[in-house]
Every structure is written in structure tokens, then in C-alpha cells.
Amino acid sequence: MSNDTPETRDTTGRFLKRAAEKAHDLHTVSDEGVHPMAKILFGWTEAKHIGAIMFWGLGLLGAFLIVLDLFVNRHDYFTFANSTGFYGLYGFAAFTFVVLMGWPLGNLLRRGENYYGDAGGPPADVDPDRPQGPADVHPTYEGDE
Amino acid sequence: MPDFLTALNPGWLLILAGIVAIFLPMRRLRQGITIAAPLIGIAMLALADQNVNHLTASVMGLDMILYRVDGLSFVFGIAFLLAALLNAIYAWHTDNRLQDGMALAYAGAAIAAAFSGDLMTLFIFWEITAVTSVFMVLAAGTRASYFASMRYLGIQVLSGVLLLAGAAYVYNNTGSLSMKAFVSLSEPGALLIFIALGIKAAFPFMHNWLQDSYPKASVVGAVVLSAFTTKLAVYAFIRLFPGQDALIWIGAVMTVFPVFFAVIENDLRKVLAYSLNNQVGFMICAIGLGTAGVGNALALNGATAHAFVHIIYKGLLFMSMGAVLYRTGTTKASELGGLYRSMPWTALFCIIGAMSISAFPLFSGFVAKSLTMSAVSHEGLTIVWLMLLFASAGVMEHSGIKIPYFSFFGHDSGLRVKEAPFNMLLAMGMGAFICIAVGIPALIPGLGYEWLYNLLPYREEAMNYQPFTFDHILTQLQLLVLATFAFVLLKRFGVYPPEKPGTILDTDWLYRKIGFGMAQWAGTVWGKVGPAMTAVFFGLTGQAYDRIEAAFSPRGELARGGLTGAMAVWTAALLGLVLLLAFITVG
């Protein structure tokens, strides 16, 4: 939007116009296809060394929560759950176990995508303007011989 | 309110509006109806007296209670109506008469079932949910979805048939169809109903209809499906089987096993379907605990509160994945990533849903799950409690991290699409608002989590419970922060399994491969044996005919020359026999 408002306009009008322009900018996607809100909400995920920051940040936060546990006299129904850092360590162990089980289970249970026949692409009500992948030339369908 | 309005079950209103919508070609008018009907339903429900039979009927000697509201059904009714409202807003950009109408009728059937006061009425609406919901899968229009919908319909109708058989058995034994809690499963009627409900709640080994059909449904259809069927089963379990010990273990297993499937599944809508399984497990486990005293109130409140918040946040997560599917045409984790650049609002709402389902403090899952966890530990069930805690870390993995991370962050897929349509964002925003609004402390008395606790069936016990204690918050944060740290650690060292396209085998393999194979084999065998048997049959009958013809036909043995003599002898012999019989019987 060009700013061709005559200088004679009163300041409230200019203020509203600027606000409107600002609002317009906030939902106008840039040429690279990036939504302006993305920078505001999640720009921090593109920071340099974000991986290291997350790693050390979460590690320190976790350590802090466990240390905090030392000073709190919790009263769980189970005595073992009252031990310092039980929840944190259990959560860590459970999460790691589940994820690492993904390796053997994936090998055991994963079959080809068309194991039961071709899934037949996306449902009918998707956006017709969506980016198109390479067309499937000879689809075979589930139930076909 | 006029009498006829107080007697009208809000579910019926939605079903009627749904039927009208199917035949209404004017798009905006139709969609106006789909939004107005749930709003009117909420108003009707808010004004309805509780614990009164608003509408009864006597059909063929059966006393049916068609509309009855009490503390329990009220919560489910409100949740279903809210879900119907959000779904209607979410579908605003579509133009599909059948889907609009059937979605509304499906919601209506679930609501009407929740407000039914006897097993026969429950059965009728139970079946209507099956028949209307299948259109959500069919709406996808692919052949795979057609086959999935037929499997889905078969299993849903089976559930209904078992429910009817159980109800008939109960009626025969007791002469009553009222919705009383069953004491034991040893009675065949109770067992049949238990299995019928178990199928709809997707018990382990009966669960695969869910993962089979929901991810193949249309964009809007999957959102609609996520709210009603399983939660209706949860409602029926609270009503009919509270404190049933078997449910504790079934529920605990249900929370744990989907976690492993969700880790390796590539289709994110299927991950959500597994996650749905896991969440319903928490509710089922809680229902099993409800025996007596404090534990009972805590556990049943937990199941009810969990169902309410779950309907909203699972809907929200399905909506966000639906928006991704709508814009990109896929929900495969291996093809997505980095979408926050194009769809930041969707990403934000998805994260709110993810934090709610992971039960972060200040989000709705926390205030509901705390009740269940407290009830389990209150009963001293160590192993069950450890299983549920394990599953809580699992939820963090598949719904808390995997869903948002692999679609919106992680490796940039290079997909640059438009943000979701405004109506989708509005529906997601409303869902996200509810997730936070019922998850925060009651800064103003009666709002925040207290609003939800006020609705629960055991209101006083609920209001005495404090979710925001320092203990709860600290332990929950420890669990979640260190689980997240585990994710970052595993990613950093490259041992997190990569997302690969593929089909993950589950119990549906038994009927889709073995069962299908056996049916094919039986078909082949029949193709060969059938004609052979026909040949044998015609051979035998042909021979018999030939013999009969040889004896009795005009050219046959008996028609030959000696006929008259032979006939006279035969007639005389028969006459003698008859006379002899008459003589003996009369004498």
C-alpha cells in the first residue's frame, strides 16, 4: 500500500490508516511464502545454535526442577514416588524407552506403503490449489486383484 | 419454556436439522442451520430441569425414556454440542450437503443417546451414530476410504447388534430396560453389552476400526469423528459399568500400547487416532476404579472431566492436522516439516492442543488428568499407576512433540502454502480458548478450572479437589520437561528413529490379510467344490428320476401288460391292510 494520504488529513485518520496498513502487513505473505506472523511467533526457532540452546536450557531446567524437589516434602501415596526427582527420571526413562523401541518395532512392523493396496491419495475436500506432487500414473487400489 | 420444547431432546433437534440440511441446496442457509442448531441445543440444555424424565413413551409394552438429563449426561451433552458447533464452523469453507447434514445428525444421535434413559433408546441412537458417521469416511471419496468405511460400518453395526442382544437378554431376565449399573459380568446380558461398548470404546484388539477409518476420512470428517463415538462409549461405561474391576486393567493396557504404534506411524492423523485410543484408556481406567467412597467420586469425576477436555483438544489437534492436509494434501510426517513459516496460526493452535493433551499445567488436560492419577494412587494400585505415568510420558512423545514438531518445525519440507482458511482458524482459536480457559486456576471464582469442576457429577468432591498444588505442578513439570529433554537429547545424538513412509501392521492385519486371504481361499475352494457338488447332486437325482421313470412312466415297468392283474393284487392287498388297521384300532 502506498502512502498517498494528503498531509492535510487529521492525525487520527493517519493513525487509523497506519494501523490498517500494519494489520494488512501482518497477514500478507512475503515473496518467499513466509507468513509475517511466523517471524513474530516462531522467529526464535531460527536463531543460531537453537539446538544447543534448547539442549542446555531444557537440561538446566530439568536439573533445577530436580534440585527444587530436594527442598520440598512431597506427600505422594506411594513412598517410592516421594524420592527426589522420581517423576523427572521416570519421564526421561519412559520417553527414551518408547523412542528407542521405535527402531526394532519399525523393522518388525513396517511394510510398504501399498501393503494393503494403494491409499488412493488425499481426500476429496482438500484445497484444489495445493502444491501438486508428481501424479501417480498407474494407481492400484485396495481390493483390486 | 413451552412444554413441547422442554420435552424435545436437543439431540433430536440436531438430527432433524441434519435431515433438513441434507436436502437444502442453499449453501450459506444450510451452514447457518448447522451452526444455529448446536447453539439452540446448548440453550435448551441449560434450561432443562435435571433428574426429570422429560419425555417417555410406551412402545409395544416397552417403557422408553427418551429424554432425561442428569449431572453426568449434562457434561457429555454440553461437550458434544460444543464439538458440533466447532465442527460446523470448521466446515464453513466446504460445500457438501451430505457431509454437513450427516455430521449434524451424527452429533445429534450421540447427544440423544447420552440423554436416553433406557437400553432400547440407547441402542436406537447407538445405531444411528454408526450409520451417520460412516458418511464422514465416505466423504473422502477415495477407494481406500470406501473399503475402510465398509469395514468401519460392519464393526459398528456388530457393536449395535451385541448391544441389542444384551439388552434383550437383560429384559428377559429382569423385565426392565433401565440404565442401571451392572454388578457383575458373569450374567451373559451384561457381558454382551460390555463387549458392545468395548468395541465402540476401541478396547485393545477391538481398536483397529479407529486407526483404519479416521485417517482415511475427509478433512472435516476426521474432526467430526474424533469427538463422538468413543466418548459416547465412555459415557455408557460410566453409566453401566462403574467400578468394574476389569476396566482398570483394560484401561491401563489401552494407555500403554498405542504409544508404541504412535512412535513409528508416519501418517500424523493416524498418530492422533492412536493417541485417541491412549486417552480413552485413561478414562476407562478411571471408570474401573469407581467403587465406593472418595475414590469413586474422584475417579468418575476424572473420567468425565477427561472426556470433556479430550473432546475439545483432540478436536483441536485433528483440526490443525486437517488444515495441514487441506493446504498441502498430505499428513505424512516424512513429507511435512517447516510449515510454521506458512501456517503460523495453525502451528500456534496445534501447540496449544499438544500442550493440553500432554497435561501441561495451565492447560485443560492437567486439571482433568490429575483427578484420575490421584484416584489411582488413592486406591494404591502401584502397577496401574506406573503404567499411566508411563503413558503420560508417551502422550508427550506422540501428541505433545511429534505432531507439532514434524509438521510445523523440524526439517523444512520446502512447502510454501497459504495459511488455513479463516473459518478453520476461528474454530481452532475457539477450541484453543476452551483448552486454556478450563485449564487455568480460578482467578475469578467459578471460572477457570472451577467452571469445569462445577459441571462434574460429584460436584462437591470435585470442588474440594485442588489440582494446582505445588506437588502436582512440580511433579508434572519434572515429568514433561525431562521427557522433552530426552527428545532433544535423542535428536542431538541422532538416535531418534527417522520418519519413514510405510504401513504399520496392527491387529487389523488379522482380518485384512489372514481373514481376507481365508475368504478368498474359501471362494476359490467353493468355485471348484460348488460345481463338483452340483454335478454329484444332478447325477444322483438324475439316476433316481431314471429309476422312477422306469417304474411308473407310461412306458415303465408298471405300465406293461401285466398291469391289470398287478393292480388288482395291489389294490386287494392295500384294502386288506386298511381293514386290518381299522379292525385293530377300533377293537
pLDDT tens-place string over residues B85-116:
999 999 999 999 999 999 999 999 999 999 99
Let me know the angle formed at the C-alpha of B26 by B24 and B27, rounded to the nearest 5 degrees: 105
pLDDT tens readout for residues A35-55: 888 888 998 888 888 889 999
Could you tell me the CA-to-CA distances from B570 to B317, B573, B576, B584 in Å, in that order?
89, 5, 10, 21
Out of B46-50, B462-466, B482-486, B558-562, pick the least confident. Answer: B558-562
Are the C-beta atoms of B372 and B282 separated by less than 8 Å?
A: yes
A135/B contact by beta carbon, under 8 A: no
Q: Which residues from chain A sit within 8 angstroms of residue B484, using beta carbons? A: 58
pLDDT on residue B294? 55
pLDDT on residue A73? 81
Mean pLDDT of chain B: 91
Kindly indicate the confidence band of residue A17, based on its pLDDT and cuts at 50, 70 and 90: confident
A98/B contact by beta carbon, under 8 A: yes
Out of A48-62, A83-97, B48-62, B198-212, pick the least confident. Answer: B48-62
Which runs of E-coded beta strand occur in B499-586? Answer: 503-504
A20/B contact by beta carbon, under 8 A: no
A134/B contact by beta carbon, under 8 A: no
Are the C-beta atoms of B277 and B243 separated by less than 8 Å?
A: no
pLDDT on residue A137? 42
pLDDT tens readout for residues B323-339: 999 999 999 999 998 89
Out of B161-165, B172-176, B260-264, B422-426, pick the least confident. Answer: B172-176
**What element of type H or E holds B53?**
strand B52-59
Cα separation, A140 vs A136, whole angstroms = 10
Q: Hey, what's the cell of A100? A: 528407542
**What element of type H or E holds A111?**
strand A110-111
Phi, psi of B64 (to 5 degrees): -110, 135
Q: Which of helix, strand or coil describes residue B64?
A: strand
Residue B566 clears pLDDT 60, i.e. is over it: yes
Cα separation, B333 vs B264, whole angstroms = 10
Out of A137-141, B402-406, B515-519, pick the least confident. Answer: A137-141
Mean pLDDT, residues B480-488 taken together: 95
Give Cβ neighbours of residue A71 (< 8 Å, ≥ 6 apart): none
Q: Which chain B residue has the Cα nearest residue A76?
A: B377
Q: Which chain B residue has the Cα nearest residue A30?
A: B342
Interface size between A and B, measured as CB pairs under 8 A: 258
Kindly indicate the confidence band of residue A145, based on its pLDDT and cuts at 50, 70 and 90: very low
pLDDT on residue B327? 93
Cα separation, B82 vs B48, whole angstroms = 17
Q: Which chain A residue has the Cα nearest residue B508?
A: A116
Cell numbers 537429547 correspond to: B489
Question: From the list A66, A89, A96, which residue is nearest B490 (CB)?
Answer: A96
pLDDT greater at residue B356 or residue A20: B356
Q: Which of helix, strand or coil describes residue B552?
A: helix
B578/A contact by beta carbon, under 8 A: no
Cα separation, A8 vs A20, whole angstroms = 19
Residue B250 clears pLDDT 80, i.e. is over it: yes
pTM (2 d.p.): 0.89
Are the C-beta atoms of B475 and A87 separated by less than 8 Å?
A: yes
Q: Do B471 and A75 touch (CB under 8 A)?
A: yes
Q: What is the dihedral of CA B299, B300, B301, B302, to 10 degrees?
A: 50
Could you tell me the CA-to-CA distances from B219 to A113, A122, B99 in Å, in that order?
21, 9, 11
pLDDT on residue B17? 96
Cα separation, B171 vs B85, whole angstroms = 37
Secondary structure, 3-state, B447-467? CCHHHHHHHCCCHHHHHHCCC
Residue A12 clears pLDDT 80, i.e. is over it: no
In one-letter notation, the amino acid at residue B72 is L
Question: From the list B340, B483, B495, which residue is nearest A100 (CB)?
Answer: B495
Residues of B (109-148) whose Cβ lies below 8 Å from A: 139-145, 147
pLDDT greater at residue A128 or residue B351: B351
pLDDT greater at residue A32 or residue B472: B472
Q: Which residues from chain A sit within 8 angstroms of residue B470, using beta carbons? A: 72
Q: Which of B485, B488, B503, B512 to mutate to test the interface with A (most CBs of A within 10 A)?
A: B485
pLDDT on residue A129? 85
Q: Which of helix, strand or coil describes residue B559?
A: helix
Q: Hey, what's the cell of B452? A: 469445569
Kindly indicate the confidence band of residue A133, based on its pLDDT and cuts at 50, 70 and 90: low
Cα separation, B229 vs B156, whole angstroms = 10
Question: From the list B139, B143, B342, which residue is nearest A35 (CB)?
Answer: B342
Q: Do A89 and B417 touch (CB under 8 A)?
A: no
Q: Which of helix, strand or coil describes residue B332?
A: strand
Q: Do B389 and A106 touch (CB under 8 A)?
A: no
Give Cβ neighbours of residue B361 (< 8 Å, ≥ 6 apart): B439, B468, B472, B473, B476, B477
A84/B contact by beta carbon, under 8 A: no
pLDDT on residue B562? 59
Residue B15 clears pLDDT 60, i.e. is over it: yes
pLDDT on residue A4? 59
Q: Do A65 and B477 touch (CB under 8 A)?
A: yes
pLDDT on residue B100? 95
Q: What is the DSSP string of B346-413?
A: HHHHHHHHHHHHTT-TTSHHHHHHHHHHHHHHHTT-HHHHHHHHHHHHHHIIIIIIIHHHHHHSSS--
pLDDT on residue B296? 77
Kindly indicate the confidence band of residue A142, based on its pLDDT and cuts at 50, 70 and 90: low
Cα separation, B100 vs B135, whole angstroms = 10
Residue B489 clears pLDDT 90, i.e. is over it: yes
A119/B contact by beta carbon, under 8 A: yes
pLDDT on residue B585? 86
Question: From the list B341, B380, B397, which residue is nearest A99 (CB)?
Answer: B397
Residues of B (218-237) whose Cβ lies below 8 Å from A: 218-221
Q: Hey, what's the cell of A95? A: 520417553
Which residue in B391, B427, B355 sits closest to B280, CA to CA? B391
Q: Which of helix, strand or coil describes residue B569?
A: helix
pLDDT on residue A136? 45
Are the C-beta atoms of B262 and B358 separated by less than 8 Å?
A: no
A72/B contact by beta carbon, under 8 A: yes
pLDDT on residue A3? 57
Cα separation, B542 vs B12, whole angstroms = 61
pLDDT greater at residue B263 or residue A28: B263
Q: Which chain B residue has the Cα nearest residue A74?
A: B471
Cα separation, A67 vs A73, whole angstroms = 12
Q: Which chain A residue has the Cα nearest residue B495?
A: A100
Mean pLDDT, residues B114-143 taken together: 94
Kindly indicate the confidence band of residue B289, based on its pLDDT and cuts at 50, 70 and 90: confident
Q: How far is B183 from chain A (nearest CA, A)?
A: 28
Cα separation, B65 vs B33, whole angstroms = 27
Q: Do A35 and B500 touch (CB under 8 A)?
A: no
pLDDT on residue B231? 96
Out of A74-88, B244-258, B324-338, pick the least confident. Answer: A74-88
pLDDT tens readout for residues B448-472: 899 999 999 988 888 889 999 998 9
pLDDT on residue B509? 86
pLDDT tens readout for residues B142-152: 889 999 999 99
Question: From the list A51, A66, A120, which residue is nearest B142 (CB)?
Answer: A120
Secondary structure, 3-state, B506-522? CCHHHHHHHHHHHHHHH
Cα separation, B511 vs B208, whole angstroms = 10
Question: From the list A88, A106, A132, which residue is nearest B482 (CB)?
Answer: A88
Give the max Cα distance, chain B.
Answer: 115
Phi, psi of B203 (to 5 degrees): -60, 160
Kindly indicate the confidence band of residue B131, based on its pLDDT and cuts at 50, 70 and 90: very high
Q: Do A110 and B502 touch (CB under 8 A)?
A: yes
Question: From the list B145, B343, B502, which residue is nearest A111 (CB)?
Answer: B502
Residue A1 clears pLDDT 60, i.e. is over it: no
> Does the interface predicted TM-score (ipTM) exceed 0.90?
no
Q: Which residues from chain A sit within 8 angstroms of residue B340, using beta carbons? A: 38, 41-42, 45
Q: Which of helix, strand or coil describes residue B486?
A: helix
Select the highest-mean-pLDDT range: A116-120, B543-547, B550-554, B557-561.
B543-547
**What element of type H or E holds B62?**
strand B62-69
Kindly indicate the confidence band of residue B193, based on its pLDDT and cuts at 50, 70 and 90: very high
Mean pLDDT, residues B251-270 taken together: 94
